[in-house]
Structure 1
Amino acid sequence: MHQAIVVFEVEGGSDKYFDGHRKDTMPIVEAIRAAGWHAEVVYFRPEWREDIFTYVSENFDAYISRVNPGNILGGEKGYFELLTQLSDAGLVGMSTPEEMMAYGAKDALVKLKDTDLVPSDTAAYYDVESFHQAFPTSLSYGERVLKQNRGSTGSGIWRVQIEDKELAASITPGTPLPLDTELKCTEAVDNHTEIRQLGEFMDFCDRYIIGDNGMLVDMRFIPRIIEGEIRILLVGPEPVFVVHKKPAEGADNFSATLFSGAHYSYDTPQAWPELVEMFAAARPEIAEKLGGDNIPLVWTADFMLADDDAGNDTYVLGEINCSCVGFTSELDMGIQEKIAAIAISRVEEKHAALALGDVAS
């Protein structure tokens, strides 16, 4: 065992600081080193893939991915292939492409729609034809939110409502809307609003479906999102803190990103016992629906407040993410030390299991 962990990044992107790293990358590296292991950053470029594989497979026991796949020039395919090669070579992956696709893809919501976590009318569109066929009817039931699979910080996430409120009130649910219906479309990245006709807006959204891993998730708008989004951040199985993200005030504002002016407040998991207990109870079902309980190293679950049939508070899952979770505002909470400890323990557990296997054979 090398007692070494590599941390992958890509060059450029809005998530980088002046030193070229994400602000939360070097704290992880330094925490691993403080624990007595070697750690370093390697930048991924598609043209370096073979050399990176050789260097990393010969010198490291594990990798930690701090790459937003949307920032990779040429797409994520080559990067995912590298990570898979490294796992096949015996390295511990955190997170693996399989985990990113299971926990990080937006259609995780669709896979969970038969649970109490997600509304049953949530849908996903994997091709342009099904989107154009179904969305005009979906919108007849009320406001919707469309979420692209790629991107981050609210890019390509649209709140969609009929512009004419009298028209909206007169529509029979289940009746497809005419393509010239005027819509008010608000993008989560900055809460800007555009007025578009339905047909033209769907044509615009085709870009989110076309290409590798392209798709759109269609989910009902949860009005209480204006009260804020509640994010649980976990390191492995452990909830570390809860972030209450309240959108900036404004009639159509719904985005809970810092870019859009949302206000963040940070709590311990103990401050949200009902939510944390509910999520812990749902974990086995989440694992079953998403294809196995390979818990990501760092991951989040975002919830919105809603009302149950009796008018009591309940929580609706809006997103799970594990591809490249940021935690720059929480570095003083010691999260990097928890990440280092769990990453090292996963490598040690794997090597201990391999050693037992050798003895048994």
Structure 2
Amino acid sequence: MAALRELGGEVEAIGYADETAGTTRDRLLTCDGVMVWADPISDAGDRSRLDPILREAAAAGVSISAHPDIIAKMGVKSVLHATRALGWGTDTHRYADLEELRALLLERLASGPRVLKENRSNGGRGVWRVEVADRGGGAQPIVSVLHAARDSVPFKIPLDALIARFAPYFERGECLIDQPFQPRLGDGMIRCYVSEGTVVGFGHQLIRALLPLPAEGVDSPKAQPGPRVMQPADAGAFQSLRDDMEQSWIPGLQHILAIEHDELPLLWDADFLYGPKDDRGSDSYVLCEINVSSVAPFPPSAVRQVADAAYRRAVAAHERRVAGRGTTASPA
């Protein structure tokens, strides 16, 4: 907020709760620009009442980031399938219904462990590592399943019984994404922070989700994720990733999803796992998810870039709006 004030903006934090949705709506309609942090899936509720308010504000000329329609394109797991041909892609499949999952999953498990992801999963919820534990000698195969949520323990279940658990999910019209488990998961996850189309920092973290539990158990220190180490955009270890993102992968994403530059979120991130090393020993990177709706924390190096972009968009929205109001107030 301080960086925006330094640029000349009038800035305030506006809390949201469904119980006060009307008050929030009225306040947002007086703004020129709004940056939204709202967890799409939490114990406190969802965005079903907030998103229509944001769409209404955007239609009234307020700059909204991230717009709910952009979240629906970028911030879901189906983006992994839609963009699988980009350099960040892997052997990714999309199951549209229960019958497709039943027909194809066992065949794909033959190549090794797979990771199944609900389209709107986050925080490890709705993500499972699945691998064959016992083929059963012609009978129903038994699979080992590990949920990515913290403190989860693996369990074994007949494959048909696992598939049946997804029936209510598919009945809601959702899809399921299937990617191969990445053997280098233990090397950590790289979070690439982006403002519009520019990389503004990185975070590297040793994670434990989907890895075998240590002998000491789920509550042991060895079972806990490490801290996320923030680094600036020019961090030497990730320059090839930065170049790929800015020069190829983000433009490719925009083309595939039909997203204009000024529609890209002011702050978003792409989470990568290490893929196989190439013949020269250089790392490759596999996209595992994109976060759009609630990116925090983020590197200090991101603040100025995000503030500049937010202020620019707010000024542009302000100029369009004051033309019809005849006022000259500062962008808010």
TM over 0.5: yes
Name the structure 2 match of 1:201. Answer: 162
Identity %: 23
More relative contact order, 1 or 2 (CA 8 Å, 6+ apart): 2
Contact 2:145 2:154 in 1 (8 A): yes
Provide closer, same or farther for how the CA distance between residues 77 and 202 of structure 1 changes in structure 2, counting only shifts above 3 A.
same
Matches within 5 A, 1:82-161: 82-119=53-90, 121-161=91-131
The TM-score, its normalising length taken from structure 1, stands at: 0.75
Closer/same/farther in 2, CA of residues 311 and 182 from structure 1, 3 Å limit: farther
Match of 2:243 among 277, 292, 295: 277
- Count of aligned residue pairs for this structure pair: 311
Relative distance call for 1:43 and 1:128 in structure 2 (3 A) is farther
Contact 1:156 1:208 (C-alpha < 8 Å) held by counterparts: no
Kept after mapping to 2: 8 A contact 1:243/1:266: yes
CA–CA distance in 2 between the matches of 1:86 and 1:357? 16
Provide, for residues 3-62 of structure 1, a one-character-per-residue CA deviation record: whole Å limited to 9, x for no partner: xxxxxxxxxxxxxxxxxxxxxxxxxx45434544333333334454444323321x2112
Contact 1:64 1:95 in 2 (8 A): yes
Structure 2: give runs of 5+ residues left out of the alignment: 215-222, 326-332
Contact between 1:125 and 1:209, CA under 8 Å: does it hold in 2? no
1:340 and 2:307 correspond: yes
User: What is aligned with 2:253?
Assistant: 286
Relative to 1, partners in 2 of residues 1:106 and 1:142: Cα closer, same or farther, differing over 3 Å?
A: same
- Distance in structure 1 (CA, Å) of the matches to 2:163 and 2:209: 28
The two structures, once aligned, show a CA RMSD in angstroms of: 3.2
> What is the CA-CA distance between 1:152 and the residue it aligns to?
2.1
Structure 1 stretches lacking a partner, 5+ long: 1-28, 171-176
How much has 1:86 moved relative to structure 2? 0.8
Q: Secondary structure at the match of 2:38?
A: coil
Partner residue, 1:41: 13
Aligned CA distance change for structure 1 residues 62 and 225 (closer, same or farther; 3 Å): same
Match of 1:225 among 170, 174, 185: 185
Give the equivalent residue in structure 2 for 1:237: 197
Contact preservation (8 Å) 2:182, 2:275? yes
SS at match of 2:12: strand
CA distance in 2, matches of 1:151, 1:107: 11
Residue 225 of structure 2: aligned partner:
261
User: What's the offset of the Cα at 1:91?
Assistant: 0.5
Corresponding residue SS for 1:118: coil
Q: Verify the 8 A CA contact 1:247 1:253 in the aligned structure 2.
A: no
Specify whether residues 207 and 32 from structure 1 end up closer, same or farther in structure 2 by C-alpha distance, changes over 3 A only.
farther
- Aligned-pair CA distance for 1:253: 6.0
